[in-house]
């Protein structure tokens, strides 16, 4: 990756957050119970990522009110993946061009470093691609959070300090950011490397129970590439998908509706049928055709 391709302000922010976190941990007393702050915030933020940023904003797997959409945007922004608009733009490109040279984080095309960290600090990721996220850009409050994504994060840090003092701030606020970031970078590589495919999706996407447990359902990534319009990433009863359970809960209390539950892929056929079922005869299509249809 060339130096001219790097967004220096993002790289600087990235380095500073790491150094501040390291310094804060080194200068704070440690007790193993403090790691419960990290675990709790990790779960909270990852659910925000998979439910809000990925499934709702990137794929519109349900409908909701405008005020709850803003709540989802704030929740998703707490992963420090910049904003839902930013991620949705890059992620829709990923589905359109999976594992081709236009895929920002394809390990197969660009190598490990670009797939792990390079895409996040690249200028290409931070360029505005308004054409792909026009449905999100038309809301002023989403444009605001795209610009001021750090505001909810600073608010959360203040809240954690008020609730838990220095351990809350350092282990809940700062360390959880670092953990969420590196798990996000690692799974970007592993979702197209580790596990097995269930569908012939013309890309390297795989399904992995380990990654699904780590990320509340994101590990069923090949299922997701086969049917990206569905809220369900786990297509079989044994495929644990906690993110989908959250959607079912939100639907039950009336905060969302029109949840897309169908898992039937429109274009792709299974590599092997689920136990006890006959193979489904489905015509195949290119990834681009499928992404446009979704
Ligand atoms: Zn993928
Ligand atoms: Zn997706």
Residue 28: pLDDT above 70?
A: yes
> Between these two residues, 60 and 89, which has the higher pLDDT value?
60
Report the pLDDT averaged over residues 153-177.
95
The span from the CA of 92 to the CA of 88, in Å, is 6
Residue 45: pLDDT above 80?
A: yes
pLDDT band at 80 (very low <50, low <70, confident <90, very high): low
**256 bridge partner residues:** 64
The residue whose two tokens read 């119970």 is 33
Long-range contacts, stretch 151-154, CB < 8 angstroms, 24+ apart: 152/74, 152/77, 152/78, 153/77, 153/78, 153/80, 153/177
Residue 289: pLDDT above 50?
A: no
How many separate domains does the chain show? 1
3-state secondary structure of 35: helix
pLDDT band at 286 (very low <50, low <70, confident <90, very high): very low
Q: Percentage of the chain surpassing pLDDT 70?
A: 90
Give distance in angstroms: CA of 113 to centre of ligand 2. Answer: 21
Nearest ligand (C-alpha, residue 188):
1
State pLDDT tens for residues 185-240. Answer: 999 899 999 999 999 888 899 999 999 999 999 999 999 999 999 999 999 999 99
Nearest ligand (C-alpha, residue 231):
2
**Residue 5 has what pLDDT?**
83
**Residue 180 has what pLDDT?**
94
**Residue 279 has what pLDDT?**
43
Give distance in angstroms: CA of 17 to centre of ligand 2. Answer: 27
Give distance in angstroms: CA of 57 to centre of ligand 2. Answer: 10
Nearest ligand (C-alpha, residue 203):
1
Give distance in angstroms: CA of 223 to centre of ligand 1. Answer: 10
Residue 282: pLDDT above 90?
A: no
Domain that holds residue 126: 3-293
Give distance in angstroms: CA of 94 to centre of ligand 1. Answer: 7
What's the whole-model pTM score?
0.87
Q: What angle do CA 83, 89, 91 make, to 5 degrees?
A: 100
Q: Is the dihedral of CA 223, 226, 228, 232 positive or negative?
A: negative
State pLDDT tens for residues 235-255. Answer: 999 999 999 999 999 999 999
User: Which of 97-101, 165-169, 202-206 has the largest mean confidence?
Assistant: 165-169
> Between these two residues, 290 and 231, which has the higher pLDDT value?
231
Give distance in angstroms: CA of 105 to centre of ligand 1. Answer: 9
> Between these two residues, 14 and 277, which has the higher pLDDT value?
14
3-state secondary structure of 153: helix
**Residue 69 has what pLDDT?**
97
The span from the CA of 178 to the CA of 45, in Å, is 12
Give distance in angstroms: CA of 103 to centre of ligand 1. Answer: 9
- Lowest average pLDDT, out of 18-22, 86-90, 268-272, goes to 268-272
């Amino acid at each position: 990756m060339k130096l001219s391709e790097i967004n220096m302000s993002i790289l600087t922010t990235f380095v500073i957050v790491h150094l501040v976190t390291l310094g804060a941990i080194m200068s704070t007393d440690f007790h193993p119970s403090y790691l419960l702050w990290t675990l709790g915030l990790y779960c909270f933020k990852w659910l925000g990522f998979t439910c809000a940023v990925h499934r709702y904003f990137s794929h519109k797997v349900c409908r909701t009110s405008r005020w709850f959409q803003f709540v989802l945007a704030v929740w998703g922004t707490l992963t420090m993946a910049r904003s839902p608009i930013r991620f949705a733009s890059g992620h829709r490109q990923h589905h359109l061009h999976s594992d081709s040279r236009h895929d920002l984080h394809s390990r197969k095309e660009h190598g490990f470093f670009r797939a792990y960290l390079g895409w996040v600090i690249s200028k290409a990721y931070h360029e505005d691609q308004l054409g792909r996220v026009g449905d999100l850009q038309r809301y002023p409050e989403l444009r605001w959070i795209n610009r001021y994504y750090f505001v909810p994060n600073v608010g959360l840090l203040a809240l954690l300090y008020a609730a838990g003092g220095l351990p809350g701030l350092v282990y809940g606020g700062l360390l959880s950011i670092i953990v969420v970031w590196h798990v996000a970078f690692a799974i970007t590589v592993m979702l197209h490397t580790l596990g097995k495919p269930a569908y012939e999706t013309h890309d390297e996407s795989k399904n992995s129970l380990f990654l699904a447990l780590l990320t509340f359902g994101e590990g069923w990534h090949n299922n997701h590439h086969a049917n990206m319009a569905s809220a369900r990433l786990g297509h079989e009863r044994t495929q644990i998908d906690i993110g989908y359970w959250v959607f079912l809960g939100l639907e039950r209390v009336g905060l969302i509706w029109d949840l897309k539950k169908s898992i039937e892929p429109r274009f792709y056929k299974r590599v092997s049928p689920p136990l006890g079922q006959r193979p489904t005869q489905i015509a195949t299509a290119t990834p681009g055709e499928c992404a446009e249809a979704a």
